[in-house]
Structure 1
Amino acid sequence: MEMNGVNWDFLVGPLVGSIIGYITNGIAIKMLFRPLKPLYIGGLRLPFTPGVIPREKGRIAKSIGRVVARELINEEVLSQHLLKEEIYVQLKMKVSEGINKGIESEKLLGDLGEQLIGDENLEQVGVSLEEKLSKSIYERVVELNLGNLATKKLLEELRNGLGQSLLGPLSMFVSDSMLEGVAHKIEPVINKLVQDEGRPVIQSMVHQEISKFLNKPIKEIALYLQEYQQSLELGVITVYSQLIKKHLSKALYTLNIEEIVEERINAFDTLELERIILEVMEKELKAIVWLGALLGAIMGLVMNIV
């Protein structure tokens, strides 16, 4: 059929092919998500229902989780990013910023503790720390056997002439065996005194030191740290690097990223999952539809030529 010199029959094939390609690709993309549930006629389920993604959602979630955990967020990749020079520079900046803020602060260390963990929690931490330190120091003091140390020192001083000045003329009647006998009687008395009275004395001293520490101005601590800023920065970087190198693998194993991703995808409603996929691949999916139209037109043109 010709009209105004145009052979419309030659154009019908490409036009029809283009329309068919456009529609079929559009339907194929829709069938990725729809229908959302299986459709039945009688007792038979219609083929291709539900859509590919609703039907294979569990398998897709598992595959994505495995790819993310093994290829995207694995130990090697995270180590490279977490141990980059830029991270070290940021850590140094944070140390410097912290020291500068401390120098400008008018607060006490106790005020900072209350701000970070709250008044009640700070008190609980203080009491717990006081008890642990007191117990640890007390046990070390008891292990020292101060009675034995004191009596040894006393015997040494007496033998070096202190006994003569204390006892005067009677010192000639005091033998080493007598001194040792007295020392052996004094030793358990001193040890018992330490065991009975040492704990409250030590606890009182620890309490005073903790109180002094909490009442120190932040500015004073910050000025002290400023003198050793480079060493502090190096220490922070070293500790950070060691933590990453030693514990990243265990942290990833504990987190189980594969399982998290899988559970998260499975938790999505199918419509929500469709929205996310279309949002990410909207341009690409539209391109596939138009590519179908182009291929249909080409096939129609080829058929005309043949």
Structure 2
Amino acid sequence: MENIMDILYLLAGPLIGSIIGYSTNYLAVKMLFRPLRPIKIGTFRLPFTPGIIPKRKDQLARALGSAVGNNLLTSDDIEKILLDETLKDLIVSRLAAFLCAEEEHTLKTMLTEYCTEESYLRGKAHLEKVIGDKIITGIAQLDLGEIIATESKRVIKQKIEGTMLAFIANEKMIDSLTAPLGAMLETYIKENGKDVIRPIIKLEIAKLENQPIGKILTDIGMEKNLVPNLVDKIYTQFVGTKATEFIKALDIAGVVEQKINAM
């Protein structure tokens, strides 16, 4: 009996110490994560509530977001992923097949898949205006009125050469006819050019937007077997120059921070 008591006496210390150690460790770990919210009795908040990690969740989320966004997944990493041969070949082949499909996808259907109808129409109207303005500006820079006056004068002189009119219609008389003609034409273009040109532009854009993309490429002389190479070059250049902007737009650090805060 005494031997048993001696054994129990020897085991009691380590056993009790183990139980106390386990309990305190369990409690300490538990207090790191629980409770999630402060516990109040009236206006008094119980100490150590919420737990250390929930209490500092904002700081933890910010730190983890920064670590992931700035160190674990950098713009170089994104670029390597997007330029991986397997992924790049898959993307390029899919895009090339999409562009070369002559029946399925028109320019309009492709664009409206990635933007609203309202945005598409607004962009289309803006394009019509820009093209019209460019044409009018180009015509103005040509000094079309002067060109018309000069060419009209040349044609008139050529037509009346060797006739009786050549003796009557001298240089001054011809200038009096052609100069106003050029000026009138120039004024008309300035005042009405956009109204005349815009319906034509609108009609041509309408024709273009309803054509299959493959047909558009064919019409401009792009052979289908060259499309994958073109897409590959554009894709590689885009990723190489826009990877940094892409990673900034993704804001991975912000996304991670939001996800942790939402937990």
> Could you say which TM-score interval applies, normalised by the shorter chain?
0.7 to 0.9
Which one is further off, 108-117 or 139-148? 108-117
For residues 216-253 of structure 1, give each alpha carbon's deviation from its aligned partner in whole angstroms, at most 9, with x where no partner exists: 35663476689534543333333334444444434544
| Number of corresponding residues | 260
Shift of 1:15: 5.1
Aligned partner letter, 1:103: E
User: In structure 2, what is the equivalent of residue 79 of structure 1?
Assistant: 79
The reply on whether 1:258 has 2:260 as its aligned counterpart is no
Aligned partner letter, 1:164: E
User: In structure 2, what is the equivalent of residue 236 of structure 1?
Assistant: 231
Gaps of 5+ in 2: none
Aligned partner letter, 2:54: P
Structure with bigger gyration radius: 1
8 Å CA contact retained: 2:78, 2:247: no
Aligned partner letter, 2:134: S
Higher relative CO (Cα under 8 Å, sequence separation at least 6) belongs to 1
8 Å CA contact retained: 2:218, 2:224: no
Q: How does 1:58-207 map to 2 (within 5 A)?
A: 58-99=58-99, 102-105=101-104, 123-158=121-156, 161-164=158-161, 168-207=163-202
Check 1:191–1:70 CA distance in 2 against 1; reply closer, same or farther (3 A cut): same
Shift of 1:215: 4.0
8 Å CA contact retained: 1:225, 1:232: no
Check 1:133–1:37 CA distance in 2 against 1; reply closer, same or farther (3 A cut): closer
Shift of 1:125: 4.5
For residues 46-75 of structure 1, give each alpha carbon's deviation from its aligned partner in whole angstroms, at most 9, with x where no partner exists: 764442212322322222122122212322
Q: Structure 1 length normalisation: TM-score?
A: 0.65
RMSD: 3.9
For residues 179-231 of structure 1, give each alpha carbon's deviation from its aligned partner in whole angstroms, at most 9, with x where no partner exists: 34433232212212323443232122112212322443566347668953454
Gaps of 5+ in 1: 269-306
8 Å CA contact retained: 1:103, 1:222: no
Check 1:2–1:63 CA distance in 2 against 1; reply closer, same or farther (3 A cut): same
Indicate the SS of the match to 2:34: coil
Q: Structure 2 length normalisation: TM-score?
A: 0.73
User: In structure 1, what is the equivalent of residue 52 of structure 2?
Assistant: 52
- For residues 166 and 94 of structure 2, what CA distance do their matches in structure 1 show? 69
Shift of 1:22: 3.7
Q: How does 1:278-293 map to 2 (within 5 A)?
A: none
8 Å CA contact retained: 2:61, 2:257: yes
Which one is further off, 24-33 or 11-20? 11-20
Shift of 1:98: 0.8
Indicate the SS of the match to 2:102: helix
Q: How does 1:1-40 map to 2 (within 5 A)?
A: 18-37=18-37
Q: How high is the sequence identity, in percent, across the aligned residues?
A: 27
